């Protein structure tokens, strides 16, 4: 029973609940960034590079392609053909960079809000101020 009580105390601590909320929001936010990269950023980059580049279909076949299998990323993956999918890596890398940048900006804003909301430091006690003045005058 002591273990259950200890686990309950751990689970209801604010930090654990905050972490759980952060993971859930992070998962949802990851989907938004995926959509941003796949539906907005990558088409723009593709059009700048010639208009017909689909980064998910940039790959190098490392094995034998069975007869009748089309040379597309999805078909080769389903057929079990080993491929070097560098286009997919490019897409995921751009996704990560955008996600990291947005998280960085969010942390900056939260830190700025925390600084504004932070209470001012308490005034230095008068005896400490007097001791500092005495120390400074003795040094001179």
Domain parsing of the chain, residue ranges: 2-53+85-139
pLDDT for 77-108, tens place per residue?
Answer: 888 889 898 888 887 888 788 778 877 888 88
DSSP assignment of the chain equals -HHHHHHHHHHTSHHHHHHHHHHHHHHHHHHHHHHIIIIIIHHHHHHHTTS---GGG--EE-SPPPTT--SSHHHHHHHT--EE-HHHHHHHHHHHHHHHHHHHHHHHHHHHHHHHHSPPPPPPPHHHHHHHHHHHHHH-
pLDDT tens for residues 43-85?
Answer: 787 788 776 666 777 888 888 888 888 888 888 888 888 989 8
What is the CATH number that goes with domain 2-53+85-139?
A: 1.10.1200
């Amino acid at each position: 029973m002591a273990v259950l009580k200890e686990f309950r105390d751990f689970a209801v601590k604010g930090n654990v609940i905050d972490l759980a909320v952060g993971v859930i929001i992070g998962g949802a936010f990851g989907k938004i960034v995926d959509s941003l990269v796949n539906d907005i950023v990558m088409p723009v980059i593709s059009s700048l590079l010639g208009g017909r580049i689909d980064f998910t279909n940039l790959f190098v076949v490392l094995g034998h392609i069975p007869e009748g299998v089309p040379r597309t990323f999805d078909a080769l993956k389903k057929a079990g053909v080993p491929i070097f999918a560098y286009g997919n890596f490019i897409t995921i890398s751009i996704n990560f960079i955008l996600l990291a940048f947005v998280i960085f900006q969010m942390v900056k804003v939260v830190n700025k809000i925390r600084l504004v909301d932070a209470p001012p430091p308490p005034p230095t006690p008068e005896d400490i101020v007097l001791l500092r003045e005495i120390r400074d005058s003795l040094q001179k």
